[in-house]
Homo-oligomer: A and B are copies of this chain.
Amino acid sequence: MKDNFLNYNNYVSVDCVVLGYNEVENKLQVLLIKQKGPEPNTAELFKPQYAIPGDLIKEEESLDEAAARILEDLVNVKGLFLEQFFTFGHPDRVKDPKDADWLSTRRKDPLARVITVAYLALVRIDQINPSAGYFAEQTTWRSIKKIPKLAFDHNTIVSKALDIIREHPEQHLVGRELLPNKFTLSQLQNLYEVIQNKELDKRNFRKSIKNNEYLITLDEKQKGVLHKPAQYYAFKKPKK
């Protein structure tokens, strides 16, 4: 009877596309890590590649918890915006020869299939301080316009994340996640322009954004700027 039991087993990982917004330079960047092996000085064992942060899930954690743990380990910040967006599970997604060396330092069975659940995180670059964790030799921000060749199928994963955020920026509350607590409408417009990669008309942008139920006008203006001071705004806390 035991012969009828199914027994396929797989690795399951969570990978995080961390999009960081640099307000000063008005740039949207993605957080990459440089792979490292499990031991110090394992660099000679393989040619490290850039990758997005990810890890196998642990036995007792949910997928959401795994994503939070990976980010916490990497950027030492809790409570970031995190959203599952797609699961990548092609049998060959970790079987490119370019990835064999790194896997051999990390897995008992380097050719085993890995199914990965991908998450999107949004952060303000100036608010976090990524530091190499136990799975990263170093971390680096790269412009979403110049993403290098990444390990595994991570280029595909990043592309899909960008598609999703561009589709519905307002649904992803990008303003709340990527701007300071108080901000001007010009700051908000700059952010939308970077995400959508196109210029927006000031008057029309203001008309449409002012319908946003979450936007509230603060009782405060800019001070000390060399021009007409702008009104500050904030986001209401989400309903739920």
Contact = CB atoms under 8 A, between A and B. Distances in A.
B5 A108 contact: yes
Given A4-B38, A8-B57, A87-B117, 4 more contacts: A12-B115, A63-B87, A63-B89, A63-B115
Contact of A59 (B11, B55, B113): B113
A62 interface: yes
Given A86-B84, A91-B59, A91-B62, A39 B113 contact: no
Interface in A110-135: 113, 115, 117
A61 interface: yes
Given A11-B8, A63-B115, A57 B89 contact: yes
A24 interface: no
Nearest to A55: B6
Contacts of A7: 108
A91 B10 contact: no
Interface centre among A9, A55, A89, A117 (most CB of B within 10 A): A89
Contacts of A9: 9-11
A100 interface: no
